[in-house]
Amino acid sequence: MEPGIVIWFTGVPASGKSTLAAAVQQRLEAMGLPVENLDADEVRANLSPNLGYTEEARDENTKRLAWFAQKLSGYGANVMIAAVAPKQAYRERGREWCEKFVEAFVDAPLEVCQQRDPKGLYARAARGEVNDIAGMHQPYEAPVNPEVHVKTNECSIEECTDAVMAKLVELGYLQPELALRQAGE
Amino acid sequence: MLGLFRRRQPQTRVLVIGLDGVPHSLLTELMDRGAMPNLAEIAASGDLRPAESTQPTVSCAAWTSFVTGVNPGTHGVFGFVDREPGGYQQYITGTRYVRAPQVWRILGERGRRVIIMNVPVTSPPPEINGLLVSGFLAPKLEGATHPPELAARLQRLGYRIDIDPWQARQSLDLLLDDLAATLKGRVAGATELLTTEPWSYAMVHVMGTDRINHFMWAKWAADDPDYAPRFVDYYAQVDAAVGEIAPAVGDDVELLLLSDHGFTRTLHEVNIDAWLRAHGYLGVSASEEAKLAQVDESTRAFSMTPGRIFVNLRGREPRGSVEPGAEYEALRNEIADGLMKLTDPDSGEPIMDGVVGREEIWHGEALELAPDLLAIPRDGYDLKSALSGDDLFTSSPITGMHTFGDAFWLIRGRQFAEGTPRVEDGAATVLSLLGEELPGHFDGRAMV
C-alpha cells in the first residue's frame, strides 16, 4: 500500500500549529483523502495524561507521536501532527520513521504568540503558574531545513495552507491534477 | 552669526519614575522610619500627595491611562487579559491594542526624543523617536527593545524586564534575590541610557514594588520577624535606586514619581465565576479545562478578573442568550443587587463597594471592549474569575491586593495644582511640565 504523508507542524505555543493542521486536513479530505489528525493536546489528554513538559516527557511524547504516525501512514492515512516538539532531534525521529515526511515550521514572533494566547498559557506564565513554555522558559530549536516555513503573523491562514499544499505537490506526494481540481480550476 | 544673539531657553526635560503599586500610606510610614531618605528629601523640597487609580484598578489599565491621558473606555485596556469585542476569545494586551496615542508618540511627532523603560503595555516595542524597552508581560529582553540592538547593550548591564514569577511562588528568598538583581539591572540600564543619550522625556518603571507587595504584604502587615525587615529593605533599595538615578540626570530635570494604585492586605479572594454559577447565570461547569470558549446559550453572564462582568447578549456574543433592551437592563440590575448583598463569611461585612454599569464609569470609542458591569470591591476583597472552581472564597500565595485610592504622586521642587491627582492626569501633567501644548482629547488635567 502507498504510505500516507506525515506533516509535522512545529512551532512555539500559539504560533498556529493546530489551526494550520486543521486547515490542511480539510483540504486533503475535500480531495477524498483519508486524514488522521494527531493534535498533541488531544493525544496527550487521551493517551498520556500524566506526561508533563520536562525534557524526558517531551522526548517520550514526541516518540509516541512519531510511532503512531508511522503506523497510521503505513495504512495509507495522511497524518497531521500539531506538536511543539522543541528539539530538532524529536522531529528527525519522525523523518527517519515516516517515508513521506514533511516538517512544517509554523513561525510567529514570541510577543505575537503571547498576545494571541488562545489557551491562556502565557497568561498563566505571567502569573507564575507555569515555567515550562518552549521558546520562553525552555529552548525551542527552530527547524534547520524544514520542507515548509510559514510566518503566521504575516500571512493569512489560507496563504499558509496554500504554501503547505504547494509543497506537497512539489515533493510529488500529491497529484497536481487532484490539487488543482480541488482548488476549482 | 544671528544664532549667537538669539535667546534660547534651555529645553526642559522631564523624568518620571513609576513605582508600581506603592501606597501613599506605606511611603509616608517608611519615610518616617528613615528607611527612604532620598524620597523624603524630594518630598521636603516638593509635594507628596495621595492619588487615585483607574477602574478597574489594574496596572495595565492604569499605566495606559497615565501615558495616554484618557480613561480605559477610550484607550481600550481593561486588564492584562482582555476580550475580543463580542466574543469569547481572550488575548493578552499589548502595544497593538492601545487605541489612544501615548505621550511619547505625541512628543515624537513634535520632534522630542524620549527614553521609555519598562512601562507596562509596550510589548512588542513600538518604533518611537528615541529608545524603548518593553515592560511587564514582554516575554524576553531579546526582541523587546527599540531599536533591536538596544537589547544587547542592556543585557551587558544585567538588565532584566521582570522577576521570574514562578520562582516567587516557590520561595520568598528566591523572590527577594530576584527583586534585588532586577532592580540593580534597572538602575544600571537607566543610568547608562539617561546619561549618554539625548532625551527630553524619560520614564523608568519599577514593577518590583508591586511584585513584593503581592507576595509579602501579609508578612509586612503582621510584622513578621524574618520577612518584614526584608520587605522594608527592598523599599530601601528602591529609595537608593532613586538616589542614584536622580542625581545622575541632574537637578534641572523635572522629576515626578508616582504609583498607579495603592495596596492593602487581602482578606479574601472572591471568585465571581463561582458566584455567577451558583446563582444560575453561568452555564460552564467547573473543571480544569473550563474556558470562556465553552460559553453557550445556557450562560447569561460570565466574568473576567477583576470583577468584570459580561452579559451574554443576543446579537453581540455568538451564542448570546439575553435579549438587548429591557431583559439586558433587568439582568444587570439583578446581578448588581445580588453582588451588593454578598458578605464576608467571617465578619459579615459587605464585600462590594459598588456594582456599576459600563456607561457610568467609562466613555469613548473603546467602550465595546468594556464589561457590561464592573464590581468594585471594598479594600481587602480581591475579585478573581476562575471558571475552574466552585468555591466562592479562595486563597493563593498572593497576600496583597490593589486599591483605587492611596496611590501617590511626588514631585521635586514644586507644588502640585489643587486637588487629588488621578492616574489619567499623567499625560497632561508631563506635557505641561515640558511646556508643550495639550491636545484636546485628554480626560485628565495638568496637575502642575
The answer to the question of residue B159 being in a domain is yes
Last residue of a domain, one of B372, B394, B416: B394
Tell me the CA distances in angstroms from B408 to A119, B47, B50, B332, one per residue in order: 36, 10, 5, 34
Residues of chain A under the 70 pLDDT cut? 180-185
B424 and B351 both lie in a single domain: no
Best to test chain B binding among A44, A50, A111 (most B CBs inside 10 Å)? A111
Cell of A180: 488543482
Interchain pair B91, A115: CB under 8 A: yes
Residues of chain A contacting B165 with CB distance shorter than 8 Å: 125-128
Q: Residue A105 forms beta bridges with which residues?
A: A10, A149
Which amino acid appears at position B434 of this protein?
L
B240 and B378 both lie in a single domain: no
Tell me the CA distances in angstroms from A28 to A15, A24, A77, one per residue in order: 22, 6, 11
Q: Cβ contacts of residue A36 below 8 Å, gap of 6+?
A: A72, A77, A78, A79, A80
Distance between CA A8 and CA A21 in Å, rounded?
9
Distance between CA A175 and CA A171 in Å, rounded?
10
B165 contacts chain A (CB < 8 A): yes
What is the pLDDT, as a whole number, of residue B271?
A: 97
Phi, psi of A86 (to 5 degrees): -65, -15
B279 and B258 both lie in a single domain: no
Closest Cβ opposite residue B91 in set A117, A127, A136: A117
Distance between CA B199 and CA B193 in Å, rounded?
9
What is the pLDDT, as a whole number, of residue B1?
A: 44
Ramachandran quadrant class, B249 (left: phi over 0; alpha: psi -120 to 50; beta: rest): alpha
Nearest to B322, CA basis, from B266, B372, B273 = B372
Residues of chain B contacting A122 with CB distance shorter than 8 Å: 92, 139
The answer to the question of residue B417 being in a domain is yes
CATH at residue B377? 3.30.1360
B142 and B287 both lie in a single domain: no
DSSP B226-281: THHHHHHHHHHHHHHHHHHHHHHH-TTSEEEEE-SSEEEE-SEEEEHHHHHHHTT-
B292 and B222 both lie in a single domain: no
DSSP B69-137: -S-HHHH---SSEEE-TTSS-EEE--GGG--S--HHHHHHHTT--EEEES-SS--SPP--SEEEE--TT
Distance between CA A31 and CA B56 in Å, rounded?
51
C-alpha torsion sign, points A174, A180, A183, A184: negative
Best to test chain A binding among B92, B175, B207, B382 (most A CBs inside 10 Å)? B92
Distance between CA B213 and CA B238 in Å, rounded?
13
Cell of B148: 533591536
Nearest to A23, CA basis, from A162, A151, A179 = A162
What is the pLDDT, as a whole number, of residue B6?
A: 52
What is the pLDDT, as a whole number, of residue A181?
A: 66
Interface of B with A in 29-58 (CB under 8 A): none
* B6–chain A nearest CA distance, Å: 48
B217 and B282 both lie in a single domain: no
Cβ atoms of A111 and B123 within 8 Å: the answer is yes
B289 and B344 both lie in a single domain: yes
Nearest to B406, CA basis, from B61, B51, B103, B154 = B51
Interchain pair B92, A122: CB under 8 A: yes
Among all residues of chain A, which has the CA nearest to that of B89? A118
Element (H, E) at B411: strand B407-411
B88 and B106 both lie in a single domain: yes
Reported pTM: 0.91
Residues A149-183: pLDDT tens digits?
A: 999 999 999 999 999 999 999 999 998 877 766 65
B251 and B289 both lie in a single domain: no
The answer to the question of residue B447 being in a domain is no
Please count the helices (runs of H) and the strands (runs of E) in chain B.
15, 19
- Count of the separate structural domains present in chain B: 2
Residue with cell 525587615: B229
Distance between CA B213 and CA B316 in Å, rounded?
39
- Domains in chain A with CATH codes: 5-180 (3.40.50.300)
The answer to the question of residue B428 being in a domain is yes
CATH at residue B55? 3.40.720.10
Among all residues of chain B, which has the CA nearest to that of A111? B124
- Fill in the DSSP letter of residue A138: B
Residues of chain B under the 50 pLDDT cut? 1-3
Interchain pair B93, A130: CB under 8 A: no
Do β-strands B268-271 and B301-304 pair in parallel, antiparallel, or remain unpaired? unpaired
Burial class from Cβ neighbours inside 10 Å (0-12, 13-18, 19+) for residue A63 reads: middle
Cβ atoms of B393 and B381 within 8 Å: the answer is no
Domain that holds residue B236: 12-264+402-433
B247 and B279 both lie in a single domain: no
Residues B104-131: pLDDT tens digits?
A: 999 999 999 999 999 999 999 999 999 9
B151 and B180 both lie in a single domain: yes
B169 contacts chain A (CB < 8 A): yes
B218 and B307 both lie in a single domain: no
The answer to the question of residue B196 being in a domain is yes
The answer to the question of residue B2 being in a domain is no
Give the ipTM.
0.81
The answer to the question of residue B145 being in a domain is yes
Do β-strands A78-82 and A5-10 pair in parallel, antiparallel, or remain unpaired? parallel
The answer to the question of residue B442 being in a domain is no
Distance between CA B362 and CA B74 in Å, rounded?
8
Interchain pair A114, B166: CB under 8 A: no
